Structure 1
Amino acid sequence: MTGRDTLLGQRRMHLGLRFLHGESTGSYVTRLAARNLRPVEAVLASLGNGPMPVDPQYTEMYVSRYARERLANLAGRTVAEMQKRLVSLSDEFLMPADAAEDWEWPWDARAGYVVQACSLCAAQRGTRSTAWLILADPWHVCLRHHRWTDNSRSTQHPYIDLGALSEVVQAQQRLNRVTKRLGPLAARWVQADAYSLLAHCGTPDRAEKAKQWRALAVELGEQRVRPLAQFGWLARLTEDLAWLEVRRLSGVLTTTEHKQWLPRVRRRYGHGLAGPLATWHGQHRPLARDYLTTVRGDHSVSTDVENEVRKATGHHPVASALTSLEDATCLPWVRLPGSMDRLFL
Structure 2
Amino acid sequence: MQQARPEPVGLRAVPGEATGSFVRRLALVNDLSVAAVLREVADGRVEEWADPRAHEIFLSDLGVERLAVMAWRAPEELRRTLPTLAVKGRGRRPARVAPWPQQWTVLEPCTGCLARCDDIVAPVWWASGEPWQVCVRHGQWLRDARTGGPAQVSLVGLEEVVRAHRRWLRMRHRVGPYARALLADALQVTAWWWQGRLMGSETVWARREEVLGSGRQEWSVPLVVYPEAVVVAEAMAAYERQRRWGREFAGGAPGWVSRHWITFVGERLGMSGPLEHGGYRALREWTLLHRVDTPVAARLMCTAPPPDYLSQQLPVLEPHVAGLEYGPLEDASCMPWRLGRPVSALE
TM-score normalised by structure 2 residue count: 0.72
CA distance in 1, matches of 2:191, 2:103: 21
1:112 to 104, 107, 118: 104
1:25 to 13, 19, 22: 19
CA distance in 2, matches of 1:186, 1:75: 37
Q: Secondary structure at the match of 1:111?
A: coil
Do the aligned partners of residues 158 and 198 (structure 1) sit closer, same or farther apart at CA in structure 2, a change above 3 Å counting?
A: closer
Q: Secondary structure at the match of 1:46?
A: helix
Percentage of pairs with the same residue: 27
Partner of 1:167: 160
CA distance in 2, matches of 1:102, 1:295: 37
CA distance in 1, matches of 2:189, 2:158: 23
CA distance in 2, matches of 1:254, 1:247: 6
Q: Which amino acid is 2:340 matched to?
A: P
CA distance in 2, matches of 1:226, 1:199: 7
CA contact (8 A) 2:107 2:151 kept: no
Partner of 1:47: 41
Q: Which has the larger radius of gyration?
A: 2
Point out where structure 1 has 5 or more consecutive residues left out of the alignment: 1-11, 297-308, 339-345
1:322 to 319, 326, 340: 326
CA distance in 1, matches of 2:208, 2:249: 40
Q: What CA RMSD, in Å, does the superposition of the two structures yield over aligned residues? A: 3.6
CA contact (8 A) 1:196 1:336 kept: yes
CA distance in 1, matches of 2:69, 2:233: 42
Q: Following superposition of structure 1 onto structure 2, how do residues 1-345 of structure 1 map, counting pairs within 5 Å? A: 14-20=9-15, 22-48=16-42, 49-90=45-86, 93-97=87-91, 102-106=95-99, 108-126=100-118, 127=120, 129-152=122-145, 158-183=151-176, 185-202=177-194, 204-215=199-210, 222-246=217-241, 248-249=243-244, 251=245, 256-257=250-251, 259=257, 260-266=260-266, 268=272, 270=275, 271-282=277-288, 283=290, 285=292, 309-310=315-316, 313-319=317-323, 322-333=326-337, 335-337=338-340
CA distance in 2, matches of 1:52, 1:118: 29
Partner of 1:343: none
Point out where structure 2 has 5 or more consecutive residues left out of the alignment: 1-6, 342-347
Partner of 1:6: none
* Structure 1 residue 274 displacement after superposition: 2.1
Q: Secondary structure at the match of 2:103?
A: coil
CA contact (8 A) 2:28 2:121 kept: no
CA distance in 2, matches of 1:59, 1:103: 10
CA distance in 1, matches of 2:133, 2:24: 21
CA distance in 1, matches of 2:159, 2:29: 35
CA contact (8 A) 2:107 2:144 kept: yes
* Structure 1 residue 64 displacement after superposition: 4.1
* Structure 1 residue 142 displacement after superposition: 0.5
CA distance in 2, matches of 1:262, 1:143: 30
CA distance in 1, matches of 2:249, 2:151: 49
* Structure 1 residue 204 displacement after superposition: 2.2
Q: Deviation string for 1:179-199 (max 9, x for gaps)?
A: 12212x022121122123234
CA distance in 2, matches of 1:64, 1:18: 18
* Structure 1 residue 152 displacement after superposition: 1.1
Do the aligned partners of residues 151 and 186 (structure 1) sit closer, same or farther apart at CA in structure 2, a change above 3 Å counting?
A: same
* Structure 1 residue 47 displacement after superposition: 1.5
Q: Secondary structure at the match of 2:107?
A: strand
Task: Give aligned pairs, total.
Answer: 304
Q: Secondary structure at the match of 1:280?
A: helix
* Structure 1 residue 36 displacement after superposition: 4.0
> Structure 1 stretches (4+) deviating beyond 6 angstroms?
290-294
TM-score normalised by structure 1 residue count: 0.73
Q: Which amino acid is 2:156 matched to?
A: G
